[in-house]
Each structure stands twice: as C-alpha cells, then as structure tokens.
Amino acid sequence: MKIIRKTIAFFYFTALRISCRRVPEKIDYIEVNGLTLLYSIRGPEGGKPVVLMHGNGGSHKSMATQSLQLAKAGYRVYTLESRGQGVNPPLDEYHYADMAEDCYQFIQKLGLKKPLVGGWSDGGINALLLEMAHPGTCGLIVAAGANLKPDCGEGFEEFKAWILEQGTPLAMMMLSEPDIDPASLSAIKCPSLITVGSRDLISVEHTKLISDNIPDSELVVFEGASHSSYIKKNPRLGRCMLDFMARHGY
C-alpha cells in the first residue's frame, strides 16, 4: 500500500511540474507606494484578471497551485509579492494597511477592472482591507484563513510564543494587527468567499464572524484542514474558487 501511495504521489507531482511548464510564468517588477515589488503573471492575455496575495513571510510561490489552476482555466493571474517579503528587501516596520494600499496601487497601475482579489492568511486580511478602503475596486473577494484581530483561536498563546521567538518586525506585527471592527466589513459589497480549515489557527467561529458581517458572502470550512494544508500544493481551494467564480459569472 505504501508503495502504491508513493507511486501515485510521484506521478501527481510529476504531472504538476509538467503542467507548470505548459503554463509559463512571467516575472516582472512594479513601483507602488514608494517601493519596487516583484510580481508574477500567468495565464492568457485577455483572461479575466485575478490578483493573489500570499501569507506572512511567504512569496509569489506560496499560492502557485491556485495560480496554475486559475491560469489553466483561462484567467490572467497576477501574484504580488508583498513588501519586505520574498525577494523584496526587508523593512523595519510593517502594517497591513500599507500592504493593502500596495495592492490597490498595483491594480490601478496595471489598469485591472474589478479583478477577483484573493489572498491567504495575511493576503486574505489585505484583500478585505483593500475593498474596505477603496470600495468598488474588487469584482469578487476570496479571503482564506483571514482574521480580524490577533487573538482569534485556541492556539493563539502557542502562536504568540512563536512570534516572540522570531522577533522580526514582520512577525511582531501579528501581535497588534489586524484590528478590524466586524461591523466595518459591511462596506464590502462584492461577492466574497471566506474560507477556513476545521483545524486552522483561526477558529471557525471567528471566520464565521467575518462572513456574517459581509452582506454578500459565503463561508466554506475545509474539514480536516489546517491553516496551510488546503493551500500549499493542494487543489482544494482552487477548485472552490473556480466554482465560486462560475456561480457569479466571472
């Protein structure tokens, strides 16, 4: 049985690597908010635009599986590497509002019209903040594993200890941010997909609070999934996104 599983895994990841080569990825740079940031582009020109944002300490590669799935479905996928992360030079101070503004300026500079803006973890927070600060920018939102405040689940104390151990400005930001009033989410009028894993650092109850306060939203709980297991090298979120997009005519 172990041999069969290993064989299946080998062919799956081999096929994934081959598929990636068939959907080439272009790397470029853009100046926004006084910084030069890396971003990737994948998918056909003329495809409906999708902007993806990664989690804390990640890079444009963090959501590579979703980028590939959406590009193969005909979407033009832009993955912005957040300030001070990936290949971008580290900074002395970080705030979610600045990252959300970076993404807004990115969308404006590229002339993207009401794109789907999606993100995981920090990226999900930034997607919410972007639309709250600039209503009407997004056509659709996907926020996976987002939170409104630092203490948002039973594992926070353990996570806090990890943050203090890291001690970096990027990690330390998560002790005081985000600080979003649930009622303020009502400013988000576009259809929104809010997701969480049943074994996530973010509790299902907290995620439901997000969904309940966005007028046109739906909540999806991925059973048995952790904060990252349904994202990294896993097609579950991408399939869910494609279904969501299809149901909203995007």
Given a cut of 50, whether residue 19 has pLDDT beyond it is: no
Given a cut of 50, whether residue 6 has pLDDT beyond it is: no
pLDDT the model gives residue 23: 87
Mean pLDDT of 107-130: 98
Mean pLDDT of 105-134: 98
Q: pLDDT tens digits for 58-109?
A: 999 999 999 999 999 999 999 999 999 999 999 999 999 999 999 999 999 9
> DSSP label at 90?
P
pLDDT the model gives residue 223: 98
pLDDT the model gives residue 21: 52
Best CA proximity match to 192, nearest among 142, 240, 146, 129: 142
Q: pLDDT tens digits for 125-158?
A: 999 999 999 999 999 999 999 999 999 998 899 9
- Strands (E) in the chain, as ranges, are 25-32, 35-42, 49-53, 76-80, 116-120, 140-144, 192-197, 217-222
Residue 149 · residue 177 · CB < 8 Å: no
pLDDT the model gives residue 22: 74
- Strands (E) in 60-166, as ranges, are 76-80, 116-120, 140-144
Tokens of 123: 């990226």
Given a cut of 60, whether residue 12 has pLDDT beyond it is: no
Given a cut of 70, whether residue 9 has pLDDT beyond it is: no
Torsion region of 127: left, alpha or beta (phi above 0 gives left; psi -120 to 50 gives alpha): alpha
Residue 96 · residue 125 · CB < 8 Å: yes
Given a cut of 60, whether residue 121 has pLDDT beyond it is: yes
Given a cut of 90, whether residue 205 has pLDDT beyond it is: yes
For the chain, which domains are there?
A: 25-247 (3.40.50.1820)
Phi, psi (degrees; rounded to nearest 5) at 42 = -145, 140
